[in-house]
Amino acid sequence: MTITAGQVKELRELTGAGMMDCKKALTEVGGDLEAARELLRKSGQALANKKAGRIAAEGMIAHLVSEQGDAAVIVEVNCETDFVAKDASFVAFVEQVCRVALQHQPDDVAALMGLDSPAGGTLESERQELVAKIGEKIDVRRFSLIRPQGRLGSYLHGARIGVLVDVTGDDSGELSKDMAMHIAAANPQCVSADDVPADVLEKERKFLTEQAAQEGKPAEIVAKMVEGRLRKFLGEITLEGQAFVKDPDIKVGKLLKDRGAKVCSFVRLEVGEGI
């Protein structure tokens, strides 16, 4: 049978697939629009599986805060090239992931991808269709939810770094925004020294001890050198120990104390981090 340009156009609008792919699908199923759409879904899944082994280290960070300000979500969705990261369909998918994650607040990515998408089907089927349309591996890598005890601060550095931070004692919202910007720039690992995992601390202490011992100092001097360098290390990796980026003469911990504020928690995501 003859497949009309109108049929191809309609299927393309429904699926986002290429025109030749749409025509081929319609031809295979005798012009049945729904059957062609399902066929493209299946081929999209096959393509997604085929591309699963590729490395996707580009992508986008996005966040969404509830209207009441009582919850927020931040997500990382990866693709293979920065060109695709700017594609309108990719950006729309990331925004859809944010909305569904915030609405349902699932426990993990697997649960998130199994949730229904407003576009029809699940987020996973929508991802597979997008892979078929764009031709790159696309991966919803991670997300975090925050239910703030105080004021929620958020910041995006382009689409590559995103931060959510929960600050108590901040009525204006200015401090929480400053904290989010600082965290984006300075990349602290923990809020305070008390939050640094014991194994991380022990590993650094061992390294510093071995380093100081090579300098040929007496044992008691080595011990003092190690403690001094350990304090410097903690100052570099903890939010409270870092110099405030907008005023390096003051530590973040002192700034918070002077304002009667406290950072309860934060999440910082950066595209491709650790891949």
193: in domain: no
174: in domain: no
29: in domain: yes
Nearest one of 136, 36, 155 to 89, comparing CA atoms: 136
In this prediction, residues 192-196 reach a mean pLDDT of: 95
- How long is the chain? 275
248: in domain: no
60 & 138 share domain: yes
Q: What is the pLDDT of residues 19-56, one digit of tens each?
A: 777 788 888 888 888 888 777 777 665 555 555 667 78
92: in domain: yes
- The token pair at 273 is 């981090």
Asked if pLDDT for residue 267 goes beyond 90, the answer is yes
pLDDT number for residue 51:
58
47 & 58 share domain: no
**Average model confidence (pLDDT) across the chain:** 90
- What residues pair up with 35 in beta bridges, in sequence order? none
143 & 59 share domain: yes
Nearest one of 25, 215, 207 to 129, comparing CA atoms: 25
104: in domain: yes
In this prediction, residues 134-156 reach a mean pLDDT of: 94
87 & 21 share domain: no
pLDDT number for residue 218:
81
Give the domain range for residue 33.
5-51
- The DSSP secondary-structure symbol of 190 reads B
Domain of 74, CATH number, reads 3.30.479.20
Output the CA–CA distances (angstroms, integers) from residue 100 to 27, 92, 162, 214, in the order listed.
Answer: 35, 12, 18, 55
Element (H, E) at 6: helix 5-15
Confidence of residue 235 (pLDDT cuts 50, 70, 90): very high
Structural domain ending residue among the three candidates 115, 131, 147: 147
Asked if pLDDT for residue 79 goes beyond 70, the answer is yes
58 & 35 share domain: no
Structural domain ending residue among the three candidates 93, 121, 147: 147
11 & 33 share domain: yes
Lowest mean pLDDT among 45-49, 73-77, 79-83: 45-49
96 & 14 share domain: no
In this prediction, residues 99-105 reach a mean pLDDT of: 97
- The token pair at 225 is 């050198």
Domain of 35, CATH number, reads 1.10.8.10
- The token pair at 117 is 């998408």
pLDDT number for residue 108:
96
The percent of residues above 70 in pLDDT, for the chain, comes to 93
44 & 60 share domain: no
Per the structure, the count of domains in the chain is 2
Contacts of 198 (CB under 8 A, 6+ apart): none
68: in domain: yes
Q: Are strands 151-157 and 58-65 parallel, antiparallel or unpaired?
A: unpaired
Structural domain ending residue among the three candidates 147, 176, 191: 147
29 & 70 share domain: no
Element (H, E) at 88: helix 88-104
- What residues pair up with 72 in beta bridges, in sequence order? 65, 146
71 & 117 share domain: yes
Q: Of 42-56, 99-113, 205-219, which one has max mean pLDDT?
A: 99-113
pLDDT number for residue 18:
67
pLDDT number for residue 124:
92
Higher pLDDT, 100 or 209: 100
238: in domain: no
29 & 89 share domain: no
* Buried-state track 236-273, b at ≥16 Cβ within 10 A, e below 16: ebbbbbbbbeeeeeebbbebbeeeebbbeebbbbebee
Which residue's structure tokens are 């699963």?
52
Higher pLDDT, 45 or 165: 165
46 & 86 share domain: no
